[in-house]
């Protein structure tokens, strides 16, 4: 079994006298999830480093290497980049992440970025703080290798690798078959997320148009933000898939190209659904704001009505609170009861008027 080397080291300044400290190395297994050699659709047994794997494939003049990395830094990926001859700009994108879905063509390889999404489980969309979580998968495609770099905990490809290894006919098509499987897996995830998102939107829609609904404008804007996050993952991927389906590179053989067309069709379905969700949420946001405005108007009517009712005794008491001596009602025996009765009936009349007009 080949030995697993380590790469990179930390260099720094020191004030100590004596020999410098040895560099701190990072083991290959710290960021390499898996490295396999595939010949005629079958995986060769044993553990491989990227150096030994490439040497074996090129010695045989057949097969390819699939190496998967998880969130490597620039120092860790440098050895892999030098072995496979990856372009420095693409390597920088793979390390920094937060890229838009895209496809870039270099001299002897392709670099593709795909956004992964995961539906975050929650009790109700009216109380959720997050609905969609995103990650990234970067893929370097060459004539005899495919290098995948993942960012995010939910974008694992272990299950996908097992499925491909159980179907040697697919792997015989070469590295492009792996790229297709990754793209197909990502788009299938989009479909699953949009299905779950549709259920949330249906629940939100029922709540918005229900009386005394608990949906706030802030929650509607959260839903709008989450659908925007999903839209940023889905929409830009259409052009890269279309280019792969049209044969932008000889690295994608004709037999794989037709499968990319199928993935593109599925992505079109997802894009249409995301656009419809966006439009529906815009309508629901408008409906929510209109409902809030109507509720505010209703509250203002109630406040105004009670203020008018309270104004009657306030006015009467204010009149008889004046310190004038020549006020005949002040010394009348039935003055107080009559004033109280008049105030009571005036308030009752105003209350009935406001109730009739549905202000109260």
DSSP state of 167: -
Q: What six digits make up the tokens of 42?
A: 């079958």
What is the signed CA dihedral for 175, 149, 229, 236, rounded to 10 degrees? -40
- Looking at mean pLDDT, say which of 19-33, 114-128, 339-353 comes out highest: 339-353
CA–CA separation, 41 and 286 (whole Å): 55
Output the DSSP codes for 18-39: SSPPPP--EEGGGTEEEEEEEE
Q: E strands within 128-244?
A: 132-141, 145-151
Q: How many residues does the chain have?
A: 360
Considering only CA atoms, which of 220, 203, 225, 218 is closest in space to residue 133? 225
Output the DSSP codes for 233-244: HHGGGHHHHHHH
pLDDT in tens, 309-338: 899 888 888 887 777 777 777 777 787 888
pLDDT in tens, 192-216: 999 988 888 888 888 787 776 666 7
Query: At a CB cut-off of 8 Å and minimum separation 6, what does 220 contact?
Result: 204, 208, 281, 284, 285, 288
pLDDT over threshold 70, residue 45: yes
Percent of the chain with pLDDT over 90: 39
Domain ranges, ordered by start, for the chain: 6-292, 300-356
Phi then psi for residue 133, to 5 deg, are -115, 135
Given this model, what pLDDT does residue 150 score?
92
CA–CA separation, 327 and 39 (whole Å): 113
Query: At a CB cut-off of 8 Å and minimum separation 6, what does 313 contact?
Result: 343, 347
Instruction: Please tell me the CATH code under which domain 6-292 is placed.
Output: 3.30.460.20
Q: Between 93 and 3, where is the model more confident? A: 93
187: left (phi over 0), alpha (psi -120 to 50) or beta: alpha
Helices (H), 71-141: 74-84, 88-96
Q: Which fold has domain 300-356?
A: Methane Monooxygenase Hydroxylase; Chain G, domain 1 (1.20.58)
CA–CA distances in Å: residue 359 to residues 62, 200, 305, 352, 354? 83, 35, 7, 10, 5
Out of 33-42, 70-79, 82-91, 202-211, least confident range: 202-211
pLDDT over threshold 90, residue 176: yes
CA–CA separation, 219 and 242 (whole Å): 36
CA–CA separation, 6 and 169 (whole Å): 34
Query: At a CB cut-off of 8 Å and minimum separation 6, what does 240 contact?
Result: 101, 102, 103, 112
pLDDT over threshold 50, residue 349: yes
Query: At a CB cut-off of 8 Å and minimum separation 6, what does 243 contact?
Result: 103
pLDDT in tens, 255-294: 898 899 999 999 999 999 999 988 888 888 888 888 878 7
Confidence of residue 9 (pLDDT cuts 50, 70, 90): very low
**Is the pTM higher than 0.85?**
no
Angle at Cα 130 formed by Cα 129 and Cα 135, nearest 5°?
155
pLDDT over threshold 80, residue 16: no
């Amino acid at each position: 079994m080949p030995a697993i080397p380590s790469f990179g080291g930390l260099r720094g300044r020191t004030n100590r006298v004596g020999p410098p400290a040895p560099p701190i190395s990072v083991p290959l297994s710290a960021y390499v999830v898996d490295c396999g050699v595939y010949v005629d659709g079958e995986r060769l047994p044993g553990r491989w480093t990227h150096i030994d794997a490439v040497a074996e494939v090129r010695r045989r003049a057949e097969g390819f290497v699939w190496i998967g990395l998880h969130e490597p830094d620039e120092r860790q990926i440098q050895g892999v980049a030098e072995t496979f001859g990856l372009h420095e700009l693409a390597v920088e994108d793979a390390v920094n992440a937060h890229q838009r879905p895209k496809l870039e063509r270099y001299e002897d390889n392709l670099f593709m970025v795909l956004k992964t999404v995961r539906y975050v489980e929650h009790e109700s969309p009216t109380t959720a703080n997050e609905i969609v979580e995103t990650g990234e998968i970067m893929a370097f495609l060459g004539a005899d290798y495919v290098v995948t770099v993942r960012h995010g905990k939910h974008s694992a490809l272990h299950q996908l690798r097992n499925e491909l290894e159980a179907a040697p006919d697919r792997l015989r098509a070469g590295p492009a078959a792996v790229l297709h499987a990754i793209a197909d897996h990502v788009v299938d995830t989009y479909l699953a997320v949009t299905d779950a998102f549709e259920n949330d939107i249906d629940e939100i829609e029922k709540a918005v148009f229900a009386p005394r609904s608990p949906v706030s404008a802030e929650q509607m804007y959260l839903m709008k933000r989450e659908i925007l996050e999903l839209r940023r993952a889905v929409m830009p991927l259409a052009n890269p898939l279309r280019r792969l389906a049209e044969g932008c590179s000889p690295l994608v053989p004709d037999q794989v190209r037709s499968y990319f067309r199928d993935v593109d069709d599925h992505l079109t379905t997802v894009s249409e659904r995301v656009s419809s969700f966006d439009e529906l949420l815009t309508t629901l946001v408008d409906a929510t704001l209109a409902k809030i405005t109507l509720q505010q108007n209703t509250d203002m009517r109630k406040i105004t009505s009670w203020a008018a009712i309270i104004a009657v005794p306030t006015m009467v008491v204010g009149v008889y609170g004046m310190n004038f001596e020549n006020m005949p009602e002040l010394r009348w025996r039935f003055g107080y009861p009559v004033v109280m009765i008049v105030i009571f009936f005036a308030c009752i009349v105003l209350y009935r008027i406001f109730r009739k007009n549905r202000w109260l």
